[in-house]
Amino acid sequence: MSSRANTSRVHPFWSIENQGQGFVPPVGSKPPEAKAIAARNLEMVVHSGAGRFQILKGIHLEIKKGDVHLLMGPSGSGKTTLLLILAGLLTPTAGSVNSLGQEITRLSREKLARFRLDNIGFVFQDFNLFPALTAAENVGVALNIRGIRGRVAQQQSRYLLEQVGLGDRAHHLPRDLSGGQKQRVAIARALAGGPRIIMADEPTAALDSQSGHMVVELLRNLAKEQGCTVVMVTHDPRIVDVADQVVYLEDGHMKARPKG
Amino acid sequence: MLGYFQSFSLPGAAQNLVCWIALFRAVFMASIARKNLFEDIPRFLVAQAGILFAVSLVTIQTGLLRGFMRSTTLLVENSRADIWVSSEDIANLDLTLPIPYERVAQARGVRGVARAEALLTQGALWRDASDALSSVKVIGFEPDGQLLSPGQLTQGSQRDLSEPYSVILDTTKVASLGVRRLGDEAAVNSRQARLAGLTSHIQSSASSPFLFASLETANAYVNSRLTSGATRATAPALEALSATDSITYVLVQAEPGEDLQALQQRLEAALPDTRAYTRAQMASQTQAYWQKRTSIGLILGLGAVVGVVVGIVIVSQILYSSVSDHLKEFGTLKAMGASNWVTYSVIIEQALWMSVLGYLPGMALCLGVAAWTSTQGVLILITPALAAGIFGVTVVMCVGSALFAIQKVTRVDPAIVFKA
């Protein structure tokens, strides 16, 4: 099965009939915003035994809603640190991040967690699936923590897995899935609850080219068909073609302006 | 949901447990906790063995303590006397000075007394056919009386005690006393004894084997001199007790509707140098003596505490190690935005499963052990209330043990799930 054949099955949530009681409204139903994320003058300094390291230096960034935005650069350039700050998982030493209209750098830890729960889906390089749970249960956990349980959660898990072409793998454990399939389960999990932003950290790094292409197509479709903003850290130059903007980081500095 | 479960005829504690688990599962994520727990079966079994051990230790130690306390008052509980009259010098049921037999007649003359019977208890020496020595506690009572029962007879009859030098022993003690069947003979002090009946479940763990006999036979035993094995035990004709012969208690049955407190006072006033106790007071005084004035409570209580400590150490280690193994999963949950309470609930649910799955086999094992020891004359008393209490202790122990794991999860930085 070609990657195109698989990803062509991806279609907007709202086109599905009989979605079941309690189904989360599709992303597109939320009010449009021009900017999804705006970062201003971000600085990140860490202190370790070896001394003081400035990981990010004066980062200004604007990410439009529905864009696929790449953070690229060599290892140690600060890409993942920037992603963590944009996701509200790390507090910058200086500067601010406005995400979906909220100054998340001013939020408490609890409010940040709630913000992530309501608005952000994560895709990790190592998938970070729960190894003891089936694909459907992995997605179900993400629904459970959003208060969606029981039959509704089961229906939505299955639906989300079908969206990523894994409807027939719902009851497989992660160890029985290929790398590409695991990452698609991770994407289905990230889509639980209808996030407005997807943060992906090297989502294709552990995949072969075909699986990587499939995953990138999925993420691109999320942005284009469902208005989801995708921020992706990657080394993979093949992804540049599907991106709306690309930021190159080197030694904590932005080296190039966004694509387009 | 609660109503649904209440429709079953489960015992209260089990019913509550089922409800709580169902409620917990409805509120929190069930899968991660359960599946992480059962993911590594050998480790799970080691943990359950530890909890089973802890539950068994606590149950058996507590059951032994309760059984011991209960056994010290079995004689009181088996009596139908409303009031026990003793010497005013009394520490507990087994430790009191004698009173003269005339107190029985005096008691019968007190207003409000429907019936009064004598009870004589005293230690004596038992010598079996092979001249092996044992100590026994002679309990002399009126075989035709109504206020004391030698328990549930499995062989023979209470009336057989009217035959001189006939005795009834507890089933669990006959082997150690060197007799096997009805009619076997031995000696008590220097008098003959013939086994006339067997009883069960009326043996005190705090005293020598009970030997039930008629008042006259018991009086003959305790007043006979100890002799060497070469001297043959004799069986002279029994005499009725005289007014000055010693007895230990006067058992009193009150007239129907009589105020027991007032009757106690009247008895103490009419019977010189005596104290009158209701059945409950006598039982409570005896149990208090053993619990407070001996180290038995401390020793068995200490064993129970050791059980809880062992359980806490084992469950803590298992949960901590489980959390350490799944740290990235907890980090992933936190990165996704799960609150600390969600991650705590996973650990607490694991602890609850461990407590339930450790408690059930542990309690089953203890019930089996208790059933076996009861045939050996040792009472391990496991009441429904004790079983429910031990379940509560097990749950608290397991959930409390989760605190270290919870602390570790609290400190997990969700950023650990990212590569950089």
Which pLDDT score, from 0 to 100, does residue B295 have? 83
Calculate the CA A113 to chain-centre distance: 15
pLDDT in tens, B340-372: 888 898 889 988 998 999 999 999 999 999 999
Q: Which residues of chain B lie closer than 8 angstroms to A141, CB-CB?
A: 29, 31-32, 333
Judged by CB atoms closer than 8 Å, whether chains meet at A124 and B415 is answered as no
Interatomic CA distance for residues A215 and B217, integer angstroms = 98
Mutate to test the interface with A, among B323, B416, B419 (most CBs of A within 10 A): B419
Which pLDDT score, from 0 to 100, does residue A17 have? 33
Beta bridge partners of A254: A249
- The whole-angstrom distance between B60's CA and the closest CA on chain A is 37
- The whole-angstrom distance between B335's CA and the closest CA on chain A is 7
Calculate the CA B367 to chain-centre distance: 13
Q: What is the DSSP string of B351-400?
A: HHHHHHHHHHHHHHHHHHHHHHHHTTT------HHHHHHHHHHHHHHHHH
Judged by CB atoms closer than 8 Å, whether chains meet at B419 and A114 is answered as no
Judged by CB atoms closer than 8 Å, whether chains meet at B337 and A133 is answered as no
Size of interface A-B (CB pairs under 8 A): 79
pLDDT at A12 over 50: no
Interatomic CA distance for residues B30 and B9, integer angstroms = 26
Judged by CB atoms closer than 8 Å, whether chains meet at B342 and A90 is answered as no
Place of tokens 């390291």: A53
- Token pair of B373, please? 């020891």
Which pLDDT score, from 0 to 100, does residue A256 have? 59
- The whole-angstrom distance between B346's CA and the closest CA on chain A is 11
* Exposure string over A153-190, b if 16+ CB within 10 A, otherwise e: bbbbbbbbbbbbbbeebbebbbeebebbbbbbbbbbbb
Interatomic CA distance for residues A37 and A249, integer angstroms = 18
- Token pair of B181, please? 């069947």
For residue B16, CA distances in Å to A145, A186, B4, B55, B394 come to 26, 38, 12, 19, 15
Q: Which residues of chain A lie closer than 8 angstroms to B38, CB-CB?
A: 132
Calculate the CA A139 to chain-centre distance: 14
Shortest CA distance from B330: residue in chain A? A130
List of E strands, A4-49? 35-48
Who's near B362: CB < 8 A, 6+ residues apart? B51, B52, B53, B54, B55, B56, B59, B394
A174 and A183 Cβ atoms separated by less than 8 Å:
no
Interatomic CA distance for residues B332 and B415, integer angstroms = 9
Pick B29's closest partner by Cβ from A125, A126, A144: A144
* Exposure string over B67-86, b if 16+ CB within 10 A, otherwise e: bbbbbbbbbbeebebbbbbb
Q: Which amino acid is at A36?
A: A
Mutate to test the interface with A, among B41, B417, B418 (most CBs of A within 10 A): B418
A134, with CB counted inside 10 A (0-12, 13-18, 19+), is buried
pLDDT in tens, B371-388: 999 888 788 999 999 999
Enter the DSSP assignment of B104. Answer: H
* Percent of chain A topping pLDDT 70: 85
Q: Beta strand pairing status for B210-214 and B166-170?
A: antiparallel
Higher pLDDT, A34 or B85: B85
Calculate the CA B180 to chain-centre distance: 27
Judged by CB atoms closer than 8 Å, whether chains meet at A120 and B329 is answered as no
Interatomic CA distance for residues A137 and A140, integer angstroms = 5
Which pLDDT score, from 0 to 100, does residue A117 have? 93
A42, with CB counted inside 10 A (0-12, 13-18, 19+), is buried
Shortest CA distance from A80: residue in chain B? B420
The answer, for A173 touching chain B at a CB cutoff of 8 Å, is no
Q: Which residues of chain A lie closer than 8 angstroms to B412, CB-CB?
A: none
Judged by CB atoms closer than 8 Å, whether chains meet at A80 and B336 is answered as no
pLDDT in tens, A146-204: 888 888 998 999 999 998 889 999 999 999 999 989 999 999 999 998 899 999 998 88
Stretches in chain B below the pLDDT threshold 70? 1-31, 228-231, 419-420
B 327-346 → A contacts, CB under 8 A: 328-329, 331-339, 342
Who's near A248: CB < 8 A, 6+ residues apart? A72, A73, A254, A255, A256
Angle at the Cα of B33 from the Cα atoms of B29 and B37, rounded to 5 degrees: 165
Which pLDDT score, from 0 to 100, does residue B15 have? 57
Q: Which residues of chain B lie closer than 8 angstroms to A140, CB-CB?
A: 31
pLDDT in tens, A86-133: 999 999 999 999 999 999 999 998 999 999 999 999 998 889 999 989
SS3 of residue B151 by DSSP: coil
Q: Which residues of chain A lie closer than 8 angstroms to B342, CB-CB?
A: 145
B347 and B405 Cβ atoms separated by less than 8 Å:
yes
- Identify which of B320, B388, B381 has the alpha carbon closest to the alpha carbon of residue B359: B388
Pick A141's closest partner by Cβ from B26, B29, B39: B29
Place of tokens 């400035």: A54
Which pLDDT score, from 0 to 100, does residue B230 have? 55
B120 and B103 Cβ atoms separated by less than 8 Å:
no
The answer, for A236 touching chain B at a CB cutoff of 8 Å, is no
A 25-64 → B contacts, CB under 8 A: none
Which pLDDT score, from 0 to 100, does residue A25 have? 38
Which pLDDT score, from 0 to 100, does residue B363 have? 95
